[in-house]
Amino acid sequence: MTAVNPAYVVIEVAGIGYRILTPTPYAYHEGDKARIYIEQVVRENGIALYGFKSQQDKGLFNKLNEVSGIGPKSALAIMAAEDNGALASAIESGEVTYLTRFPGIGKKTASQIVLDLRGKMGNYVAENLFSEDEPKPDLSPALEDALLALGALGYSQREVDRIKPKLEKLPEMSADEYIKRGLGLLLKK
């Protein structure tokens, strides 16, 4: 980390500094090495890089960003609360009033978030069922990438969760192989 500012961090890669907008810049410290998952957003007025501590946070950002009336800045403001499990639970249970507490989110936009994302937040709710002391079940990075890719291909979280145990039983393989096997299982139905 080269610099930490109230709205962004600067990371240096191969001698080039990149400004990364992040929901919680002060979670990082100057001089420390950090892994940041980047999402590039291209708009008519510029290109911005958004950074997250985990693939799940990046996925949540992308889901929020797809909602009509929510842009990248609003999605970042919503995620700044750092309680993504409560956010996902509120969306799943249709708690519009919970969502209106975020800056720039009125009742209409909150209702749109629930309408667009309800039923798609199972992964985020499940992750928060584990306490801090209890370890989360480990997935291989290749399998984790494959599951995210299947979601990006348009399969619902419910469909991906249905085939996940079958993929976990397979011997270790590349993400591409997991994706091929996953697609095979999803197409069988």
Average pLDDT, the chain: 83
Q: Is residue 8 within 8 Å of residue 19, measured between CB atoms? A: yes
| Matching residue, tokens 């997935």 | 139
> What global pTM score does this model have?
0.63
* Domain with residues 1-53, CATH architecture: Beta Barrel (2.40)
Lowest pLDDT segment from 10-24, 31-45, 119-133, 154-168: 119-133
| pLDDT higher than 60, residue 121 | yes
Name which CATH class applies to 141-188: mainly alpha
Q: Is residue 61 within 8 Å of residue 89, measured between CB atoms? A: no
Rounded to 5 degrees, what are φ and ψ at 171?
-65, 160
Domain ranges within the chain, ordered by starting residue: 1-53, 55-135, 141-188
Q: What's the rounded Cα separation, in Å, for the pair 182 and 177?
A: 8
**Of the CATH numbers 1.10.150.20, 3.40.50.150, 3.40.50.300, 3.40.50.2000, which one belongs to the domain with range 55-135?**
1.10.150.20
| pLDDT higher than 90, residue 39 | yes
Note whether 55-135 and 141-188 share their fold: no
Q: What's the count of helices (H) and strands (E) in the chain, helices before strands?
A: 9, 5
